Amino acid sequence: MFNIQSLVIISGDPCASQPCMNQGTCMRDNGGFRCVCPSGYSGSRCEIRDVCQPNPCMNGGTCRSVNGNGGYQCICPSGYSGQRCE
């Protein structure tokens, strides 16, 4: 009696399933993939939106992402205040 075992490795295109979100570009990388994200997105699959793109702050205010959950804070120039430096 013979016991024959075989191992079949199926190598497919890791980008075929379109794993990148938000119009990110999938690139094959060392047997896997990596996503090249468009401006305003980040994360391994471009799943994180940069709330500061485009800048929601007015009058030259500087946007800073806070808490990593979609929140932001505007750092206002002198003479301006409010959530968006109105």
Please report whether residue 32 resides in a domain.
Answer: yes
Whether 65 and 57 have beta carbons less than 8 Å apart is answered as: no
Residue span of the structural domain in which 57 resides:
51-86
**pLDDT on residue 6:** 36
Q: What is the average per-residue pLDDT within 38-58?
A: 92
Averaged pLDDT score across all residues of the chain: 86
**For position 55, which CATH number holds?**
2.10.25.10
Task: Tokens for 67, please give them.
Answer: 């808490």
Tell me, yes or no, whether 58 and 86 share the same domain.
yes
Tell me, yes or no, whether 44 and 57 share the same domain.
no
Query: Does 68 score more than 90 pLDDT?
Result: no
Where residue 67 falls among pLDDT bands split at 50, 70, 90? confident
CA separation for the pair 47, 66 (Å, rounded):
17
Please report whether residue 40 resides in a domain.
Answer: yes
Please report whether residue 77 resides in a domain.
Answer: yes
Task: Tokens for 3, please give them.
Answer: 């016991």
Q: What percent of the chain has pLDDT over 90?
A: 62
Which has more pLDDT, 2 or 45? 45
Cα–Cα–Cα angle for 13, 29, 35, nearest 5°? 85
Taking 3-state DSSP, the helix, strand and coil percentages for the chain, each rounded to the nearest 5, stand at 0, 30, 70
Domain count within the chain: 2
